[in-house]
Every structure is written in structure tokens, then in C-alpha cells.
Amino acid sequence: MPPLNQTFAALGDATRFAIVDHLLSQGEQSAGQLQQLTDISPPAVSRHLKVLRLAGLINQRVDRQKRIYSVNPAAIQAVNAWVEYHRKFWDSSLDRLERALDMEGLNNG
Amino acid sequence: MAELKIERHFKADPAMVFDFVTKPEHLAKWWGPEGMTLPQCALDFTKPGRWFSVMQNSDGKEHKVSGQITKVDPPNSVGFTWAWHDENDVRGNESFVTLTISAGQGGGTDFTLHHQQLPSTEAADNHVIGWTSSLRKLERMGN
């Protein structure tokens, strides 16, 4: 899988984010269906889809003449793992902060 | 997009909490999860500049994280960037941390930690709301 920073960079764009969000809620979509999401030109949509594909966020398959796109769950889960890792990191640190503050309060009180 | 927000209430007053999250002698007391030691660090959030910390877990494995202090507004908030280093000391993807401190309604301090992949702006915050709901959708897909 590509490094996470590529994943985050790809999602930093509002149009690309909207595409991923739409695929998450609607499941597989053809390029034509995704085109209807935005006002931008088909070539621009194609470029966004390519960025998302290279970042590992979406998968592409070809069904006869159509290109069909879907979300790559592993990439989304990697983003989710980033959040969970840092939540644990900070929760544990903040527990220690709270104890240090309480200790200081006792010493001064 | 990817973000997390942690809210806490502390009995200590805002000035003391601000001291504990900015001064080096206090940061050393709590920085990093339980069980981690801090063999090396430059943690001084009282003024803008660079910071780093090397944390070591019980197996002796070291984890380095560094960034730039971008905002110091006593006693209200501190902002800094954040990126882990890999085993070759190459700094990875940068994220953004904001600590916000305010007086609690019934005394003490309301504290918020916001850690996100985009700098905090209104647009980014809206983005975050969308992202959180997307993850919920994904969870439902998995069920």
C-alpha cells in the first residue's frame, strides 16, 4: 500500500474527497455516474480518479466499455488506524498530565 | 479528513494547565503514553520554534516525533506541527495539533486537544465532519 501521506494528500482536495465519500455511501460507481457529482470536465474527473487510484484509495475495474470504481477498504482502514493510534497516544499522555496536575495541587494545597 | 478531538476537564485552573502544557519541566512529566520513557527531547512550548522528542518503550524501541511550534497564546492555546520519523530519521507526513484551554463553568479548566491532518481552518473543520461520517458509513458497510 502507498504511504499514508499520499493517502492524506489525495483526500485533501474537496472534489476527490466528495468522490470517495460518494463511493462509500453508494458502493461501486461508473466513471459516468461519478461525473454527475461535479460541474468539472470529464478529463478533470479522470485526473482526480487517477490520483485516488495511485494513492490506493479506490480500485478500478473494467466492465465492457465502462470503468467501474470502488473504495479500497484497506486504505480507509489505514486512515482510521492513524486516528486510533493517536487517540491512544494522547489519552494515555493526558491521563499522566491529569495526575501531574493533581499532584501539584496537593503539594500546593 | 482524519482527525481526532479529545476533551478533558481538569480541576487545576487555566494558568496552571497552560504552564503544564508549555513549560519543559512540566512537559517531561507527562509527555508520551504510560510506560514510555523520554531519553531525549526538546519540549518547550512557551515560544515558537522547533521541538522534538524521542520516546522509548519497554522493549527499548525508540520512536521520534518532531515539529514546529506555530502558535503560543497564553493562557488560551498552543499550536504545533507533528510528524513521526522513520528508522532512518526521515520525517514523515505532517499533521497539526492544537491545545485549547478555557475556564470551566464551575471552576477548573476545560481542555481540548485537536489533532488533524489539515491545518485548522473553517474549511478543514467542515471537511473533518464529512470524513467522520464517511468512516461511519464504512463501518456500516463492514457489518
Nearest-CA residue of chain B relative to A92?
B33
Domain that holds residue A66: 4-108
Taking CB atoms and an 8 Å limit, are A92 and B141 in contact across chains?
no
**pLDDT tens per residue, range A32-75:** 999 988 888 999 999 999 999 998 999 999 999 899 999 998 88
Task: Quote the pLDDT of residue B103.
Answer: 97
pLDDT in tens, B130-140: 555 555 555 55
Report the C-alpha gap between B57 and B93 in whole angstroms. 22
CATH of the domain at A45: 1.10.10.10
CATH number belonging to domain B3-142: 3.30.530.20
pLDDT at position B38, please?
Answer: 94
Angle at A4 between CA B50 and CA A22, to 5 degrees: 125
ipTM of the complex, rounded to two decimals: 0.84
Name which of B26, B1, B127 is nearest A7 in CA terms.
B1
Least confident of B27-36, B46-55, B114-123: B114-123
CA distances from A108 to A87, A103, A104, B21, B30 (A): 31, 9, 6, 18, 19
Considering the entire predicted model, what is its pTM?
0.76
Interface test with B, best of A5, A93, A108 (most B CBs within 10 A): A93
